[in-house]
Chains A and B, each alone.
Chain A
Amino acid sequence: MNPATRRWALAALGGFLLVLPLVGSRYVVYLTIHILLLAVNAVGFNLLFGYTGLLSFGQAGFYAVGAYTCARILLAWPSLLPGLVGGTAAAAAAAFVLGYLSVRHTRIYFAMLTLAFGMMIFSLAWKWRAVTGGDDGLVGVPRAPLELLGWTVPLPTVERYYYVVLVVAVLAIALMYRLVHSPLGLALRAVRDSEVRAGHVGLNVRVLRLVAFTVAGAYAGLAGALLPPLENTVTPPIAHWTASAEPVLATLLGGIRHFAGPLVGAFLLVAVKDVIVRFTVHWSLVLGAVVVVLVLGFRGGVASAVEALLVRAQARPRGVPAPAGEEAP
Chain B
Amino acid sequence: MASGPHADYGRQIEMGAQLAIEEINAAGGILGCRLEMRFMDDENRPAVGVRNARFLVTEWGAHFLYGTDSSGVAMALGPVLRELDRIQFFTHAATHRLTEELVAQQKIKQIVRVSAPVYQDAVAAWLFRDRRDVRRWATIGADYEYGYATWAIFREQMRRLRPDVEFVGAAWAPFLTTDFSPHIAAVMATNPDGIIATPWAGEAVTLLRQALLQGVFDRIKVWFQAMGGSVDVLEGISPEVKEGRFQGKLYATARYLHNWPNTETNRSFVSRFAKRWNRMPNYSAETTYSAVYITKAAVEKARSLQTDRVIAALQGMRIETPAGLRVFRSEDHQFVYAVPAGKVVWDPRYPIAVLGELKVFDPKDYWRWPPFRPLELSK
Q: Is any CB of A less than 8 Å from a CB of B in the complex?
A: yes
Which B residue sits closest to A277, measured CB to CB? B40
Identify the interface centre among B79, B97, B101, B106: most chain A CB within 10 Å of its CB.
Answer: B79
A139: B residues at CB distance < 8 A: 75-76, 78-79, 101-102
Beyond A129-B377, A137-B76, A139-B79, whether A235 also contacts B58 by CB under 8 A is: no
**B59 & A136 in contact (Cβ 8 Å cutoff):** no
- The stretch of B45-53, B213-221, B339-347 that contacts the partner chain: B45-53
**A232 & B145 in contact (Cβ 8 Å cutoff):** no
**A281 & B41 in contact (Cβ 8 Å cutoff):** yes
Q: Give Cα A126–Cα B145 distance, bound, in whole angstroms.
A: 10
A281: B residues at CB distance < 8 A: 2-3, 41
**B145 & A27 in contact (Cβ 8 Å cutoff):** no
Beyond A126-B144, A233-B50, whether A136 also contacts B97 by CB under 8 A is: yes
Beyond A135-B145, A135-B175, A233-B46, whether A25 also contacts B75 by CB under 8 A is: no
**A233 & B58 in contact (Cβ 8 Å cutoff):** no
Identify the interface centre among A137, A139, A281: most chain B CB within 10 Å of its CB.
Answer: A139
**A235 & B144 in contact (Cβ 8 Å cutoff):** no
Which A residue sits closest to B106, measured CB to CB? A140
**A237 & B145 in contact (Cβ 8 Å cutoff):** no
B80: A residues at CB distance < 8 A: 231-232
Q: Give Cα A232–Cα B144 distance, bound, in whole angstroms.
A: 21
A134 at the interface (CB under 8 A from B): yes
Which B residue sits closest to A237, measured CB to CB? B45
B55 at the interface (CB under 8 A from A): yes
A30 at the interface (CB under 8 A from B): yes
B45: A residues at CB distance < 8 A: 237
- B102 to chain A minimum Cβ distance, whole angstroms, is 8
Beyond A27-B58, A30-B54, whether A235 also contacts B2 by CB under 8 A is: no
A238 at the interface (CB under 8 A from B): yes
A136: B residues at CB distance < 8 A: 71-72, 75, 95, 97, 145
A26 at the interface (CB under 8 A from B): yes
A126: B residues at CB distance < 8 A: 144, 174
Cβ contact of A134, chosen from B54, B78, B79, B145, cutoff 8 A: B145
Which B residue sits closest to A242, measured CB to CB? B45
- A159 to chain B minimum Cβ distance, whole angstroms, is 12
**B79 & A232 in contact (Cβ 8 Å cutoff):** yes
B47: A residues at CB distance < 8 A: 231, 235, 237-238
Cβ contact of B46, chosen from A26, A30, A140, A235, cutoff 8 A: A235
**B58 & A25 in contact (Cβ 8 Å cutoff):** yes
Q: Give Cα A129–Cα B145 distance, bound, in whole angstroms.
A: 9
**B59 & A233 in contact (Cβ 8 Å cutoff):** no
- B132 to chain A minimum Cβ distance, whole angstroms, is 36
A27: B residues at CB distance < 8 A: 54-55, 58-59
Which A residue sits closest to B82, measured CB to CB? A232
Tally of chain B residues near chain A (CB < 8 A): 31
Cβ contact of B144, chosen from A30, A134, A231, cutoff 8 A: A134
The contact string, 1 if C-beta is below 8 Å from chain B, for chain A 227-264, is 00001110111100000000000000000000000000
Q: Give Cα A16–Cα B336 distance, bound, in whole angstroms.
A: 52
Which A residue sits closest to B71, measured CB to CB? A136
The contact string, 1 if C-beta is below 8 Å from chain A, for chain B 21-51, is 0000000000000000000010011110011
Which B residue sits closest to A227, measured CB to CB? B47
The contact string, 1 if C-beta is below 8 Å from chain A, for chain B 53-72, is 01100110000000000011
**B54 & A137 in contact (Cβ 8 Å cutoff):** no
A25: B residues at CB distance < 8 A: 58-59
Q: Give Cα A233–Cα B44 distance, bound, in whole angstroms.
A: 15
**A137 & B46 in contact (Cβ 8 Å cutoff):** yes
Q: Give Cα A135–Cα B45 distance, bound, in whole angstroms.
A: 11
Q: Give Cα A232–Cα B79 distance, bound, in whole angstroms.
A: 7
Beyond A27-B58, A232-B80, whether A135 also contacts B72 by CB under 8 A is: yes
Q: Which residues between 71 and 115 of chain A lie within 8 Å of chain B, taking CB atoms?
A: none
**A140 & B76 in contact (Cβ 8 Å cutoff):** no
Q: Give Cα A127–Cα B79 distance, bound, in whole angstroms.
A: 23
Beyond A27-B55, A136-B71, A281-B41, whether A233 also contacts B145 by CB under 8 A is: no
- B293 to chain A minimum Cβ distance, whole angstroms, is 28
Beyond A25-B59, A126-B144, A281-B41, whether A231 also contacts B50 by CB under 8 A is: yes
Q: Give Cα A37–Cα B130 distance, bound, in whole angstroms.
A: 58
Beyond A126-B144, A136-B145, A281-B41, whether A233 also contacts B377 by CB under 8 A is: no
B143: A residues at CB distance < 8 A: 127
- A323 to chain B minimum Cβ distance, whole angstroms, is 45
Q: Give Cα A136–Cα B41 distance, bound, in whole angstroms.
A: 19
B79: A residues at CB distance < 8 A: 139-140, 232-233
The contact string, 1 if C-beta is below 8 Å from chain A, for chain B 1-18, is 011000000000000000
B76: A residues at CB distance < 8 A: 137, 139, 231, 233, 235
Q: List 19 A-B contacts (CB under 8 A).
A: A27-B54, A30-B51, A30-B54, A126-B174, A127-B143, A134-B145, A135-B144, A139-B75, A140-B106, A231-B47, A231-B76, A233-B75, A233-B79, A235-B46, A235-B72, A237-B44, A237-B45, A281-B3, A281-B41
The 8 A-B pairs of least Cβ separation, nearest first, read: A135-B144, A233-B76, A232-B79, A235-B46, A27-B58, A237-B45, A27-B59, A139-B75
B residues with a Cβ closer than 8 A to A are 2-3, 41, 44-47, 50-51, 54-55, 58-59, 71-72, 75-76, 78-80, 95, 97, 101-102, 106, 143-145, 174-175, 377
A residues with a Cβ closer than 8 A to B are 25-27, 30, 126-127, 129, 134-137, 139-140, 231-233, 235-238, 281
Q: A134-B144, A137-B46 are in contact. List 11 more A-B contacts (CB 8 A).
A: A26-B54, A26-B58, A135-B145, A231-B80, A232-B79, A232-B80, A233-B50, A233-B76, A237-B44, A237-B45, A281-B41
